[in-house]
Structures are given as C-alpha cells and as structure tokens.
Amino acid sequence: MEFDLEQKVNHVMLQLKSGQAFVQYSELHESVNIVTKDQVDNPDNNM
C-alpha cells in the first residue's frame, strides 16, 4: 500500500501525539530522529 506525503506526515504526527513515537536528539551526532516507543523500550532490538 502506498501513502502520499500528507498521509505519512499525519501518521507520524498521530504517533507523536499519542506517545507511540518520540523525537530523539543525539548531542554526540548532532542529529534528530523520530523513534517508536518500542525502539526506546528495547534499544537492543533496533534494526
């Protein structure tokens, strides 16, 4: 199933608002990522 950009943005925004995703900042790498709650809870199981 293909999603357009607007649908993708809405999906991520919903995940952020519901607490299922988080913005993660790395001071070491000076970067920002959006990660899922599962990735935060289980950092050893990340892809």
State how far the alpha carbon of 29 is from the alpha carbons of 1, 14, 24, 32, in Å.
33, 27, 11, 9
Task: Write out pLDDT tens, residues 1-47.
Answer: 999 999 999 999 999 999 999 999 999 999 999 999 999 888 777 65
Is the pTM value of this prediction over 0.85? no
- Cα–Cα distances in angstroms (integers) from residue 30 to residues 20, 22, 33, 35, in the given order: 23, 17, 10, 16
Confidence at residue 46, expressed as pLDDT on a 0 to 100 scale: 63
What confidence score (pLDDT) does residue 13 get?
98
pLDDT of residue 47: 54
User: Where do the H-state alpha helices sit in 1-47?
Assistant: 5-18, 37-41
pLDDT the model gives residue 41: 87
Give the position of tokens 């289980």: 42
Q: Please report, for the chain, the start and end positions of each structural domain, with discontinuous segments joined by +.
A: 5-45
Quick one: pLDDT at residue 32? 97
